[in-house]
Structure 1
Amino acid sequence: MSTGTLLLVDKELRSLGKITIERSRGDLRVGRFEPQDFPNELRALCDEYQDLVESQVFAALDRIELELEAVGFGVLEEGSGVRTPIADLQITRDNRISYRTSAIVR
C-alpha cells in the first residue's frame, strides 16, 4: 500500500475524502484527512467518538464503533479501483486520521 495520497471510500466505493499518509507502522496508518462529500452524520459520529475517548468513557464506544464499521470504510490508491478494507478508523475534529489495514479480532 502506498504511503502517499489515498481516497477514503465506503462499501459502495463512494469517495468521502482524501488521505495523506504521514507515517506507517505495521498495519497502522496515520495522516491528514481532507473531507469531500463526508456526510454530517459520519462527522458527528467521529466527533462523538473523540469526545468519549477524551473523557475516558470507553464503555460507550462500542455503539459508535459498530455504526462506523457498518459504513464499510476502505481506502483506494488514486487512479486504482482496488479497495483495501480498513478497521479502527478515527478522524479527529482537526482532520487527523488513523486506521489499521487489517481487522483486529475482538
Structure 2
Amino acid sequence: MDDFITKAAFSFFIAFGVVLGGSLLAGIGSVFLITPPKDRMLQVADSLKIWALVAAVGGTIDPIRVIESHMSAGYFSPAVQQIGYILFAFLGAHMGTELIQWMCRSGG
C-alpha cells in the first residue's frame, strides 16, 4: 500500500507541476512578447491539462494495456492501482488548472 501512495503522490505532483510550470512560463513569455499574460496562461493551462495527465502516468498506452490485460485475466488489484494513478494525475492537473485560474482572477 505504501508503494501505491508514493506512486500516486508522484503522479499528482508531476501533473500539477506540468500545468503550473507550463502556464507560468507561458505567462513570462507573453510578457516578453508584449501580449496579455492572463489570457495566455489560462489558455495554456487548459491545453496542458490532458498532456500533464499523460506525462504523469508514463506517457504511453501502457497503463491502459495493464488495466485491460489484468481485468481480462481476473486480477483486479493492478487494474485498480492503475486507475488510481490516473485519478491522482487528473486531480493534480485539475488543481494546477484551478490554481492558475485563481491566480489570474485575483491578479487583476
Normalising by structure 2, report the TM-score: 0.31
For the pair shown, the structure with the greater C-alpha radius of gyration is 2
Higher relative contact order by CA 8 Å / sep ≥ 6: 1 or 2? 2
Which structure is higher in strand share?
Answer: 1
Normalising by structure 1, report the TM-score: 0.31
